[in-house]
């Protein structure tokens, strides 16, 4: 176990609101929902392997909590707020789902957390990054568990500006996450004495980045920042490599990059890329041990989202066990007050 402990108030999505505790687990079953992009742009960073991570946590916990069975259901949100909203509404209003985990596309999360709040259910967000989820879209029924654009915008941009990368051009995915990342990166770059020369927004998702990369290259910026994720990031980096961007002296800054992206790119395309990550599988003995088990199940190394899904599920189940309740506010208050010391935190 690591000596460093983290406490959830640093990442909770909103102020704690009082709720009445239930005396017992409702329905004698704790039902977890896993909602994520299972087939599209974000498949590799979460996808089916995120479901495996949740199921590993349930198995490691023993399959029951306070003699109540633990059940997992899952769905592909197809990165659609409408699809996600209808799924979550059915889960919480008809199917008895207590907690929804995964949650990758920020637009999906913003839509579904409103439904969770209406029904007093809990969302543990491991994939969505928009800082607005913690700010203007906060609810008392969700926790942004792994990262946000505020945290990710500090590491890489600060380091690059301090190393001399003063002028920036931003390629932005045209939806909530991309907008939040662009705003946070702009703030950090300018606060450190850098300058944003321009930005361009691309559709989500985008298979061909040629025109966007050429515009960024023509800006003459020291740094081309990618305010996107998943396949959009790998497609943009591959295109940049084909156009010799780094060889000509410009730096590519990946603002949300996962180990799955690096594996997809290969060493040649990823050469010169600078990035920040919230978790790495080879960090210490504890992360390696868990990651080896994950790889046995999936054939791949876990991303920080996969690790966050496992950890958040495990901590949720521990909170249900400790409180004897699956009431969202009771569990959330326990999570906020309890130090976390596991393979993730």
Span 110-133, average pLDDT = 98
Span 277-306, average pLDDT = 98
Residue 37 has pLDDT above 80, yes or no: yes
Are 290 and 141 part of one and the same domain? yes
Are 26 and 107 part of one and the same domain? yes
Are 132 and 261 part of one and the same domain? no
pLDDT at residue 290, as a whole number: 99
Q: Which domain holds residue 133?
A: 6-147+283-340
Cα of 198 vs its chain's centroid, Å:
26
Distance CA 323, CA 325 (A): 5
Are 58 and 137 part of one and the same domain? yes
Are 200 and 291 part of one and the same domain? no
- Whether 104 is covered by a domain: the verdict is yes
- Whether 345 is covered by a domain: the verdict is no
Query: Helix/strand/coil (H, E, C) string of 247-266?
Result: CCCCEEEECCCCHHHHHHHH
Are 43 and 94 part of one and the same domain? yes
Out of 259, 275, 291, a domain closes at 275
Are 250 and 224 part of one and the same domain? yes
Per-residue pLDDT of 205-237, as tens digits, reads: 999 999 999 999 999 999 999 999 999 999 999
Are 38 and 103 part of one and the same domain? yes
Distance CA 237, CA 254 (A): 9
- Whether 37 is covered by a domain: the verdict is yes
- Whether 226 is covered by a domain: the verdict is yes
Distance CA 306, CA 302 (A): 6
pLDDT band at 13 (very low <50, low <70, confident <90, very high): very low
Tokens 């003459």 — which residue? 220
Out of 252, 275, 298, a domain closes at 275
- Whether 326 is covered by a domain: the verdict is yes
- Whether 177 is covered by a domain: the verdict is yes
Provide the domain count of the chain.
2
| Two tokens, residue 24 | 């017992």
pLDDT at residue 29, as a whole number: 95
Per-residue pLDDT of 140-166, as tens digits, reads: 999 999 999 999 999 999 999 999 999
Are 171 and 268 part of one and the same domain? yes
Residue 85 has pLDDT above 50, yes or no: yes
Residue 15 is classified by DSSP as -
| Two tokens, residue 11 | 């990442």
- Whether 1 is covered by a domain: the verdict is no
For residues 284 and 270, the model is more confident at 284
Are 33 and 124 part of one and the same domain? yes
Are 109 and 196 part of one and the same domain? no
pLDDT band at 271 (very low <50, low <70, confident <90, very high): confident
- pLDDT over 70 percentage in the chain: 93
Are 127 and 163 part of one and the same domain? no
**CA nearest 213: which of 224, 223, 197?**
224
Are 107 and 128 a contacting pair, CB within 8 Å?
A: no
CATH of the domain at 308: 3.40.50.2300
pLDDT at residue 18, as a whole number: 36
Distance CA 116, CA 109 (A): 10
- Whether 287 is covered by a domain: the verdict is yes
């Amino acid at each position: 176990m690591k000596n460093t402990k983290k406490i959830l108030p640093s990442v909770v999505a909103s102020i704690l609101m009082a709720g009445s505790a239930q005396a017992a687990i409702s329905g004698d079953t704790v039902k977890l929902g896993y909602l994520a992009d299972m087939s599209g742009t974000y498949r590799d960073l979460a996808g089916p392997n995120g479901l495996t991570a949740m199921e590993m946590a349930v198995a490691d916990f023993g399959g029951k909590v306070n003699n109540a069975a633990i059940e997992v259901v899952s769905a592909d949100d197809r990165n659609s707020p409408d699809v996600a909203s209808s799924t979550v509404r059915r889960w919480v209003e008809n199917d008895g789902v207590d907690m929804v985990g995964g949650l990758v596309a920020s637009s999906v999360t913003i839509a579904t957390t409103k439904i969770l709040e209406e029904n007093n259910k809990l969302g543990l967000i491991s994939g969505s990054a928009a800082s607005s989820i913690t700010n203007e879209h906060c609810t008392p029924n969700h926790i942004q568990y792994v990262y946000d654009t505020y945290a990710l915008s500090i590491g890489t941009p600060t380091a690059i500006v301090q190393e001399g990368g003063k002028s920036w051009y931003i390629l932005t995915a045209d939806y909530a996450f991309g907008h939040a990342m662009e705003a946070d990166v702009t703030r950090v770059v300018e606060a450190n004495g850098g300058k944003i020369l321009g930005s361009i927004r691309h559709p989500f998702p985008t298979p061909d980045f040629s025109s966007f990369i050429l515009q960024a290259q023509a800006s003459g910026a020291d740094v081309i920042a990618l305010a996107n994720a998943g396949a959009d990031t790998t497609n943009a980096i591959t295109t940049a490599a084909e156009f010799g961007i780094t060889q000509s002296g410009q730096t590519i800054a990946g603002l949300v990059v996962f180990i799955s992206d690096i594996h997809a790119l290969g060493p040649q395309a990823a050469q010169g890329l600078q990035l920040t990550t919230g978790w790495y599988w080879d960090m210490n003995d504890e992360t390696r041990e868990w990651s080896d088990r994950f790889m046995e199940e999936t054939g791949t190394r876990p991303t920080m989202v996969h690790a966050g899904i496992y950890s958040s599920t495990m901590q949720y189940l521990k909170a249900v066990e400790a409180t004897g309740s699956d009431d969202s506010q009771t569990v959330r208050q326990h999570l906020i007050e309890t130090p976390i010391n596991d393979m993730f935190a």
